[in-house]
Amino acid sequence: MSRKAEAARQPQPALARAQRAAQRHALDAALAEERETLQALFPLESLQRPARKPRRVAPVLGLLLAAAAAAAAWWADPAYRSEHLASAIGARERYLLGDGSEITLDSDTVADVSWHLRSRRVALLQGRARFAVTPAVVRPFEVDAGLAQVRVVGTRFDVSRTDSEVQVQVLEGRVQLRGSAGQPWNAAPPLAPGQARRIRAGEAPGPVRQVDIARAGAWAEGRLVFESTPLSEALAEVQRYRRGAIRLQGDKAGQLRLSGVFDTARPDDMLRALPHILPVELRWAADGGAELRAR
């Protein structure tokens, strides 16, 4: 190899120094733009105190440490704010979140919302909720319903949680389902608009069902719409809106089919109407409960 070629392969001292200086300048500029954010999220006392022996590298080192802490926090995704949401029996509550998303809680529902650096999370502790999620690709929206987790970027969907099962139905967009720890499944194919799925403890997800979006989501507007629905299922819906227990005696009565539109604010009116619609008898209990049996 010629001396000229060999010299060309060796780094030129002046050029190397210029490159290093340019890299330091670019890093300093980038970190300076985020200085206030980094100091607010991760206060470093050393950045506020004068050094005993000032050195040029100290500010850059401090910001590098802050940037490293910020990167670690971004990866860990810690929560920096939380909110507790709840609705009373017989009531619906709508909450507008800071990112523009909206949560509608059905009767007797409890949820906790937590804001993280790179995600938005809701723990649905009980009841049913509708989520209208503002799109944010870098901060997905996650709902933990115990037996399953729902993950979306931006969409509208309902999640219902009871002690024994979770139901998810999609109104707009697509949602991803994942099994929680202890479930015999990890992930399921995404659900599309008009699709619903039921998840029970210790079982694989139930089959995908096609649902009438207007009918299935009517609860958010204060209506229960039944179309040839087994009475046992219809009464489970009505139970959400009253304190007194509804007791259904016998399988025969539970298998009767009910069709109609009812007001969620008047659950007792529906119960009173049942003997005029179906061959059942209604009895009121002293504790506020109601008992139904086939005639």
Place of tokens 């539109």: 261
Ramachandran angles phi, psi of 283, nearest 5°: -130, 135
Give me the DSSP letters along 64-92: HHHHHHHHHHHHH--EEEEEEEE--TT--
Q: Say what the pLDDT of residue 184 is.
A: 84
CB 260, CB 214: distance < 8 Å: no
What is the rounded radius of gyration, in angstroms, for the C-alpha atoms of the chain?
A: 29
Calculate what percentage of the chain has a pLDDT beyond 90: 63
Question: Of 7, 65, 77, which is closest to residue 31 (Cα–Cα)?
Answer: 65
- Give 185's pLDDT tier (boundaries 50, 70, 90): confident
pLDDT at 11 over 80: no
Q: Say what the pLDDT of residue 227 is.
A: 94
d(CA 131, CA 104): 7
List Cα–Cα distances, 258 to 60, 133, 262, in angstroms: 72, 33, 11
Whole-model pTM: value is 0.73
Q: What's the average model confidence in pLDDT over 198-225?
A: 94
50-54, 85-89, 130-134, 257-261: least confidently modelled range: 50-54
Q: What is the pLDDT of residues 69-83, one digit of tens each?
A: 444 444 456 778 899
pLDDT at 286 over 90: yes
d(CA 28, CA 72): 19
Max mean pLDDT range (1-5, 42-46, 103-107, 161-165): 103-107
Which CATH number does 79-213 carry? 2.60.120.1440
Is residue 57 classed as helix, strand or coil in its secondary structure?
helix
List Cα–Cα distances, 55 to 30, 59, 60, 182, in angstroms: 20, 8, 10, 55
Q: Say what the pLDDT of residue 80 is.
A: 82
Q: Say what the pLDDT of residue 220 is.
A: 97
Question: Of 34, 17, 114, 119, which is closest to residue 70 (Cα–Cα)?
Answer: 34
Q: What's the average model confidence in pLDDT over 49-59?
A: 46
Q: Say what the pLDDT of residue 40 is.
A: 54
Calculate what percentage of the chain has a pLDDT beyond 70: 74
pLDDT at 37 over 60: no
| Same fold across 79-213 and 222-294 | no
Q: What is the pLDDT of residues 133-171, one digit of tens each?
A: 999 888 899 999 999 999 998 899 999 999 999 999 999
Q: Could you say which DSSP state residue 233 is in?
A: H
Q: What's the average model confidence in pLDDT over 121-144?
A: 95
When the pLDDT of each residue in the chain is averaged and rounded to a whole number, the result is: 82
With 0-12 / 13-18 / 19 or more C-beta atoms within 10 angstroms meaning exposed / middle / buried, residue 100 is exposed
Q: Could you say which DSSP state residue 254 is in?
A: H
pLDDT at 3 over 90: no
- Give 289's pLDDT tier (boundaries 50, 70, 90): very high
Q: Say what the pLDDT of residue 61 is.
A: 52
Can you name the residues that pair with 104 across neighbouring β-strands? 94, 130
Which CATH number does 222-294 carry? 3.55.50.30
Q: What's the average model confidence in pLDDT over 170-191?
A: 91
In single-letter form, the type of residue at position 223 comes to R
pLDDT at 8 over 50: no
Domain ranges of the chain: 3-76, 79-213, 222-294
